[in-house]
Structure 1
Amino acid sequence: MTTNLPAALRRPRYLISWWPWRALAYAGTTVPVAAVLTSGLLVVVAPAVAVVNAARQGRPVELPVVVFLTLAGLALLAAAPLVSAPVAAFERWRLGLVDARPLPPARRLIAGDLLAGLAARYTSAAAWREVAYAGWLGAVVPVAYWTFLVLVLLDLTLVASPWLVTGSDDMILVWTTVGTPREAVPYAIGAALFVPVLCYLAGLLAAGQATVARWLLSGPPADPSALREVTRSRARLVDAYEAERRRIERDVHDGAQPRLTSLSVQLGLARLDVPDDSPAAGPLAMAHEQAKELMVTLRRIAQGIRPQQLTELGLAGAARQLAGETAIPVTVHADLPRPLPEPVETTAYYVLSEALNNVALHADATRADVRLTQTDQRLVVEVEDDGRGGADPVRGTGLTGLADRVAAADGRLLLSSPDGGPTLVRVELPCPS
């Protein structure tokens, strides 16, 4: 289900959905707010422009005018954080018309914290982002809306031109002149065909405004759609980690596995010496089967420390094998021109394995893409799905474990997962040539 206007604009059925009407409602409710803010800005901006033009032309500027503009500018700057608070609150509510994804709530002033709240309006970055949005809404948005309105009026004029041309006087249509209704018909048809384009332009205008509103009113720290680094402590020593991994692999392969193989052989030989009708035959056979199963399990554990398919197929082949074992369709794009160092390759493999497992279990996705890109200095692993989004390392979806593993390799893990999707997991691992 589409939850925001930018995503709806990419769908082929946009014009026959409710989204154009929601964009129109968003634009319509923008007009009174922008008009009030523009009027307030004009009180200072219009005289300031006049003074600047007079100074450029060499005309004298009266001192009272300069004093008035200075005081008015200071008053506007002092009032801006207070005025922007209700504007931002209204915009957060109004944004739901074109974007259902939640925004972080604004800080509320309470009776016992009134002075601290007022001080925060002048010192916090969030408050000044709200001021920036109010200024953008009062200065930039009206220009865009007036430009679009001119296009609409021009298109309506062209559509109505066959009825406006009287035949006695010529009528100017944009770049040409027509004298009869017949001459105006082609322009009317072209303008009618341009109406769907205007609908898309209106949607793009509303979507752009909503995107700026979300960016400024949420801010970089709280914006889930921006790539953010999932960091964990990097105090774990990489050398100790790698040494311990190799020790475990060596102990399993050279110590426990041969002894378990010998035990299985001895139990098999004992079964040959015990008659089938003996009371010990049943337990002995069960012990023999359990020993063989344990040997298979131990072999898998030993191979899992350095996956066998990674050794045989390389990272690209192992990634395609993991994709084939995933419950949803997964497309793999690999651009790996050179062999990778073993630690980097192993880390990337486990990143892919865990990320695809998260997609299958938690994302409610229908497809996923895996991209492997190698440059001169690093390996980039990206896993993107079209699921519901909302992945959060705090909720224990395996991302913190991945971040630990990536940090141990001196890399970093980044996450983009807004509510409604898509989710992108990006891992960057140092891989010098």
Structure 2
Amino acid sequence: MDVAVWAAVRRRPVRFLVSGWPWRVWALLLSGAVQGVLALLMLVVGLVLGVALSVLGVGLVVLAGTAVVGVPVGVVERWRLRLVEPVRLADPHRTVARQWLRTRLRERATWRELGYVAVQSTVFAAVGLAFAALLGCSLLLLAAPVFIWAVQPDTVMLIPGRPVSGPLDGLAASALGLLGLVVAGYSGALVAGAQVRLARLLLTVRDEDLGAQVVELTRSRARLADAFEAERRRIERDLHDGAQQQLVALGMTLGLAELELRGQDGPAAELVARARGEARLALDQLRTLVRGIHPQVLTDHGLPAAVAELALRHPVPVLVELDLPRRLPGPVESAAYFTVTEALTNAAKHSDADEIAVHGLLDGDTLVLSVTDNGRGGADPATGAGLQGLADRVAILRGRLTVTSPTGGPTRLRLEVPCSGS
């Protein structure tokens, strides 16, 4: 990518001098000189204090703080460079809520920024100070006629030993000052462009930073999947060992009460019998709910057996062909099972299909599973929360869920999810 200030010089060299570019370049260099001096002072003080206090153990903390000096300087630099570069440099750091210092010290971008500070506080700061001197001298020479007019001419000597006679004698000095401004404009543009190039190299996102972020996102996605699975098992366990057992105990207690009231007249026996029936219904609904969260057959026997059980209970004939030579990871099996469940439910409710086929196999280390029905088609995945939730769940596993359903059918749902973990 070209540098904007260099491109401005190449396009119209003469117009560059009378535009706002030289002022922006000089503002960048002069402000950089001030910032560079301050940054150099911070680095020197931090290093001296860190080394001096290292015997007390505090020096390591001071040195660590000195190492991250480049982070705030980088923020300021990315803002300052907008004077000569309209394309904003991206922040290479990732957002962290805690352990800020530890995270920054482990990022490569922090050390690149520290290197930039070392160059900017020495080389570019020195160049900025030189530009300050050049601009000051050039402006003084440019204003020489006015200066001569304002004071006694015989007290001014542009050349040692030779007093001037009037303001016209200062025109040569003005020409020299104007030449100095021209030199400062072009050379300043050259230095500013070089600083932009260095900033692009050290202060913005690089490929290795993106790679590190992708690795971290992959790990966080794996942790999210594990947390989801752990929470699912906790809910299942609580329902099975808590509410389900309490309903069983309630049903037994109501059964004993019904036996005690047998043969007695009055509404109590009828109410107990009704309560026992409602408790049995609630227990059946709870078992169905637990099975819907995660069926036990899936845990014990794997995906083929669980899908076969689904097919047996389904009102539409389902052909199941699953060629899986081994057990799959738990999150993959769970995602595949509920994908099949959602597809079969939608086919029974909306498609008017009379035949459904479930095919699945391992393609290398990727599970490829499809559910096809011969219904009327026209299904829109965006209108149902079920398929959208499944797509989000599959995305966590780095998988893909696609639905094709032309009008008139058939409807095909295809799942692809890697089985290699994170």
TM-score normalised by structure 2 residue count: 0.43
Higher RCO (CA-CA < 8 Å; seq separation 6+): 1
Between Structure 1 and Structure 2, the one with more helix by share is 2
